[in-house]
Amino acid sequence: MEGKVFLVGAGPGDPDLITVKGLRCLQKADVVLYDRLVNPELLEHAKEGAQLVYCGKLPHYHTMKQETINHFIVKYAKKGNQVVRLKGGDPFVFGRGGEEAEECMKHGVPFEIIPGITAGIAAPAYAGIPVTHRTLSRSFAFITGHQAGDAAAEHQWSHLAKAVDTICVYMGVSHLSTITNQLIQNGKSPQTPIALIHWGTLSDQRTVVGTLDTIQAKVRTSGITNPSMMIIGDVVRLHEKINWFEDEILPQLPIVHG
């Protein structure tokens, strides 16, 4: 039997948000290589006897380097296994799925991409913040917070500050001061609304709302850390109006996260 790789988006955290196709692939897999932000509940759907391989990464510490992950994906598939690479969110949104697909192509390994719901859309949705809105936001951008201190990327802030209505920043808490300062210096109003959503879509989700000039103090007080999504723009004002999950659902749920 020929091996095959499935790059599966596990969704943003809530295990119910994986796609039907992604779940079916997981149930049939011989080998599952999974990330740190994948909800452990999803692994319960793996078939009996499936090999589970942890590939988790923490900030500044990689349990398994990307080159090693690539090697194992190809190695298991070459042995005739159905391999699921289970990735938080979507494989192609800051998930390095493109690199893994390239590695499969390089070695002649068949593969499929199973998209997932990315946290940049799901976390704000669960906080009552639409990334687009007919009167408040007609454009949005996804960026990674890891580039905040990268001199080569500094020119992007002027474009982001002036050309995009809503900015969604992945894993940006540790660079919060740099992000807010850069946006203000490049023309964003200091009163621009900003929200940080910690453990979005999970039962211990917390949202902190402020403005570009007040959010740093609020985050220090709240103790918010990564993993968090940062949403910047006027759509954040809707959080108070349509905060359906934290107001209506969370009080009924036990606190359990991935």
204 contacts 223 by C-beta, under 8 angstroms: no
Q: Determine whether 57 is an active site residue.
A: yes
Give domain status of residue 24, yes or no: yes
Same-domain status, 49 and 82: yes
Order of strands across the sheet that contains 82-87: 51-54, 31-34, 82-87, 4-9, 111-114
The number of distinct structural domains making up the chain is 2
Same-domain status, 126 and 248: yes
3-state secondary structure of 8: strand
- Residues of the chain below pLDDT 70: 57-63, 147-155, 250, 252-258
Same-domain status, 124 and 243: yes
The tokens for 123 are: 């976390």
Q: Which of 4, 14, 30, 35 is catalytic?
A: 35
User: How far apart are the C-alpha atoms of 61 and 58, rounded to whole Å?
Assistant: 5
Question: Which of 73, 102, 117 corresponds to the end of one domain?
Answer: 117
Q: Determine whether 16 is an active site residue.
A: no
* DSSP state letter for 133: B
Domain that holds residue 133: 120-252
Q: Determine whether 171 is an active site residue.
A: yes
| Average pLDDT of the residues of the chain | 92
Question: Which of 95, 117, 139 corresponds to the end of one domain?
Answer: 117
Q: Which of 14, 30, 90, 171 is catalytic?
A: 171
Question: Which of 117, 136, 157 corresponds to the end of one domain?
Answer: 117
CATH of the domain at 187: 3.30.950.10
The whole-model pTM stands at: 0.90
User: How far apart are the C-alpha atoms of 166 and 162, rounded to whole Å?
Assistant: 11
95-145 tens-digit pLDDT: 999 999 999 999 999 999 999 999 999 999 999 999 999 999 999 999 998
